[in-house]
Amino acid sequence: MTAARPTPIDLDDVRGRVDAALDAQLAERAAHLAGLGDDLSAVGSALVGFCHGGKRLRPLFAYCGWRAAGGSGDDTAVVRAAASLELVQAAALVHDDIIDGSDSRRGKPSVHRAFEDVHRAGGYAGEPARHGIATAILIGDLALIWADAVLQDAGLDDAALLRARRELDLMRIEVMSGQYLDVLEQARPADPEHAVSSALRVAELKSASYTVARPLLIGAAIADAGRAVREALSAVGYHAGIAFQLRDDLLGVYGDPAVTGKPAGDDLREGKRTVLVARALALLGERRDELAAGFGRDDLTDGDVDRLRGLIVDSGADREVEDLIAQHSSAARAALDGAGLEPAGRAALEALIDAATRRAH
């Protein structure tokens, strides 16, 4: 007699339930904010609007981590807890746009630019740019506070909540650490000898841990997983997260703005020292100075961007990064075979890894 196959996890259904849980929480908290003063309605509305849309990768990884670790039964509280990660993501993106000086996010003005426009349209005193930045910093901070509140109110039992909070704290510490290292790398003189390792360290903390590994471990913590399962999911998260960031690096240079929501070649204008750029500089030889001269200039025209893209292609760095993505994706799938992960959760994780790392440019 053959064992019954587990019912597959419907990721679209989980995503829809995360959206519904998040919408309900955001509406409640925005109403509370508006009750504190009429002028605060715009702040709540901005954060609610910013959280609309997105792939919900972090909540999905958290949910699948819970299932893969053997979580079963009523999952309502798990979905609500997973939804809190979208507010951590919102905080990170709002602050990241300030740091990078980005004008847009998801095809709309970035939060600091939107409130700069509000200041200008209202004829307020002071500098519009300073007002926009100050408001966006506060909105990012508010998102972090709301993330805690949403997790607290998710309905987890006390022990599961404590375990999840420990992982969430580590997640936030690691993403802030990775963000600082990213800022530092862009500010200090380039170190060609260690450029790739430095870029990978930033990717590990800012993306691998934050996007995949810690969400998986948050789900596993809610399920009270054992050590072997946690170690397996940590390995899955590391390799899938690195592959995800490397794919994002390629999209930052070659991605379609209609898909990425960011202007084409934005990473080149911002001077992001990614693995892609580090390898291109190392491989270009005598043409290295051509890339270095244009890299990090915010006045690059579309023609300049196309020329720098061509240099990277000529170097072969884009192909090297594709190979690295394939290697880390393969390693993530191999790690899925360990520790006897629950079959439906394992299958859903494999689908998520493919969605997060596939070619999209």
Task: Give percent of the chain above pLDDT 70.
Answer: 96
Domain that holds residue 23: 11-357
Asked whether 63 and 102 are in contact (CB, 8 A), the reply is no
Alpha helices (runs of H) in 52-207, residue ranges in sequence order: 57-68, 76-83, 85-100, 111-122, 128-152, 158-187, 195-203
What is the model's pLDDT at position 207? 84
Q: What is the spatial distance between Cα 21 and Cα 328, in angstroms, rounded to a whole number?
A: 33
| Most confident segment among 1-10, 169-178, 263-272, 350-359 | 169-178
In a domain, 4, yes or no: no
Q: pTM for the whole thing?
A: 0.91
How far is 245 from 272, CA to CA, in rounded Å? Answer: 13
Please check whether residue 6 lies inside any domain of the structure. Answer: no
Nearest residue to 295 (alpha-carbon basis) of 274, 316, 315, 318: 274
- Report the number of distinct structural domains present in the chain: 1
Query: Does 1 reside within a domain?
Result: no
- Assess whether pLDDT exceeds 80 at residue 105: yes
Convert the pLDDT of each residue in 131-140 to its tens digit.
Answer: 999 999 999 9
Quick one: how many helices (H) and strands (E) in the chain? 18, 2
Tell whether the torsion through CA atoms of 245, 251, 257 and 263 is positive or negative.
positive
Is 352 inside any structural domain?
yes
Answer whether residue 120 shows pLDDT above 90: yes
pLDDT tens by residue, 122-175: 999 999 999 999 999 999 999 999 999 999 999 999 999 999 999 999 999 999
In a domain, 261, yes or no: yes
Task: Say yes or no to pLDDT of 260 above 80.
Answer: no
CATH number at residue 292: 1.10.600.10
Q: What is the pLDDT, as a whole number, of residue 359?
A: 64
Longest dimension (CA), the chain: 77
109 three-state secondary structure: strand
Q: Three-class SS of residue 237?
A: helix
**Alpha-carbon distance 82 to 68, whole Å?**
15
Residue 2 in any domain: the answer is no
Residue 154 is predicted with a pLDDT of 97
Q: Is the pLDDT of residue 45 over 90?
A: yes
- Specify the higher pLDDT residue, 333 or 285: 333
